[in-house]
Amino acid sequence: MKYGNTTSFYGNISTQQTVDVYRLTEKLTKSEYYSNESLTYNSTPLGSLTFYPNPVDTVQVIQNGDTTTESAHVRIRLSDTFGQEILDAGTNGNIITNNAAFLNLVNGLYITPSSTVDNTLLSTNEGAVVYYDINSALSTLTVFYRNDLGTEKSYSFLINSESKKFNHFEHNYTNTEIDKQLSGLSHDSTLTYVQAMGGVKTKLIIPNLKNLSAEGKIIINKAELIFNVSDTSLATIPKLVLTGINTESQATFLIDYFEGETYFGGTYNATDKTYTFNIARHLQDLVNSDKTDYGMYLIATNSAISTNRSVINSFKHPSNKIKLNITYSKF
């Protein structure tokens, strides 16, 4: 499995990791999977590897007597029995004649850390999440074998954008401020949180917006909603998105979103540690109509392929709280 790039990790890669590979006992039949879903698999691993992640250094590969240098990647040796099963399926009866035939033999692979968020022994600030480029030509399932003459051979089953795959995420917020907030317990109300990997989002309600119309008809020229980041000890989310909320509590695009990124905003400003959104059209629509305002969600973009999180000052923060700056004209 090829690393995404030299910075394809989030956390502390000086902590040793163990990765297990299992054989799926269930086919990936649906066209779309969500990060909270899981598939059944054989409880006996096909292979395991304990290592220190190293997305920087190249790897020397010796194969069939030749030595080549490849980009940084991880190689996990799987069971010889598994490899022999694949070889046997390709001889005589030629069971493996195409992709569909191979998928009837192998449903897929489940690649996972050996520890979970519920049984990990890692201390605070240990461990990391590592990104792999599964669509790379270097990411393969490769069978190494000898023919009848004893000549070393290999065959690689490629993984590409046409291959079905998805990420499964689990979080454990026990005894954290997030857990207290989700449980409605006493907590630090000066902070709020947004996390990728199917993690948490922030719900925002701005009261008394419709009171703006008490001054008569107004035109909102600009409305900047500014979020200040509190903790940058780990990389923040590069880009957030602000959405509306419908009657079913589902996220919906704000009308300002369709004005483009330059207008709408949401990109992290590392200089002043803020995210800024322009929601003038959304607020104008609320002020001018009798629509019910269900609030907004602040959500991580690329949540399925990113691990970053942002700790943000709430409206109760003593100094750099959430701000809404509205510029309007009366007529």
User: Tokens for 304?
Assistant: 């399925």
Q: Are residues 121 and 257 located together in one domain of the fold? A: no
What is the mean predicted confidence (pLDDT) over 255-283? 96
End residue of a domain, out of 158, 189, 206: 158
Q: Are residues 9 and 79 located together in one domain of the fold? A: yes
User: Tokens for 252?
Assistant: 């919906």
Range of the domain at 263: 177-330
pLDDT above 90: residue 233: no
Q: Are residues 131 and 202 located together in one domain of the fold? A: no
Q: How far is CA 196 from the centre of its chain?
A: 5
Q: Are residues 140 and 188 located together in one domain of the fold? A: no
pLDDT of residue 93: 63
Give the residue with greater pLDDT, 86 vs 124.
86
pLDDT above 80: residue 214: no
End residue of a domain, out of 130, 158, 186: 158
pLDDT of residue 304: 78
Residue 166 lies in a domain: no
pLDDT of residue 311: 96
**52/57 Cα distance (integer angstroms):** 12
Phi, psi (rounded to 5 degrees) for 226: -120, 130
Residue 172 lies in a domain: no
pLDDT of residue 54: 96
Q: Are residues 67 and 137 located together in one domain of the fold? A: yes
pLDDT above 80: residue 265: yes
pLDDT of residue 123: 86
Q: How many domains does the chain have?
A: 2
Q: Is 246 helix (H, G, I), strand (E, B) or coil?
A: coil
pLDDT above 80: residue 83: yes
Q: Which of 125-139, 148-162, 239-253 has the lowest mean pLDDT?
A: 148-162
pLDDT of residue 272: 95
Q: Are residues 67 and 132 located together in one domain of the fold? A: yes
Q: Are residues 215 and 128 located together in one domain of the fold? A: no
Q: Are residues 69 and 184 located together in one domain of the fold? A: no
Helix (H) or strand (E) holding 82: helix 80-89
Q: Are residues 22 and 147 located together in one domain of the fold? A: yes
Count of CA atoms in the C-beta half-sphere (13 A) of 85: 11
What is the mean predicted confidence (pLDDT) over 280-306? 90
Residue 292 lies in a domain: yes
What is the mean predicted confidence (pLDDT) over 230-259? 94
What is the mean predicted confidence (pLDDT) over 37-61? 95
What pTM was computed for the model? 0.86
Q: Are residues 278 and 323 located together in one domain of the fold? A: yes
Q: Are residues 145 and 22 located together in one domain of the fold? A: yes
168 vs 16, 35, 77, 110, 225, CA distance in Å?
A: 21, 4, 23, 10, 33
Residue 60 lies in a domain: yes
pLDDT category at 92 given cuts 50, 70, 90 is low
Q: Are residues 150 and 181 located together in one domain of the fold? A: no
Q: Which amino acid is at 51?
A: F
- Residues in the chain, total: 331
**81/90 Cα distance (integer angstroms):** 14
pLDDT above 80: residue 218: yes
Percent helix / strand / coil, the chain, rounded to 5: 15, 35, 50
Residue 167 lies in a domain: no
Phi, psi (rounded to 5 degrees) for 278: -105, 115
What is the mean predicted confidence (pLDDT) over 163-187? 92
Q: Best-predicted range by mean pLDDT among 49-58, 62-71, 287-296?
A: 49-58
Query: What share of the chain has pLDDT > 70, as a percent?
Result: 99
pLDDT above 80: residue 215: no
pLDDT category at 331 given cuts 50, 70, 90 is confident
pLDDT category at 162 given cuts 50, 70, 90 is confident
pLDDT above 90: residue 82: yes
End residue of a domain, out of 128, 158, 188: 158
Task: Look at residues 195, 173, 225 and name the one whose alpha carbon lies nearest to residue 302.
Answer: 195
Residue 90 lies in a domain: yes
pLDDT of residue 234: 87
Pairing of strands 202-204, 296-300: antiparallel
Residue 208 lies in a domain: yes
Residue 48 lies in a domain: yes
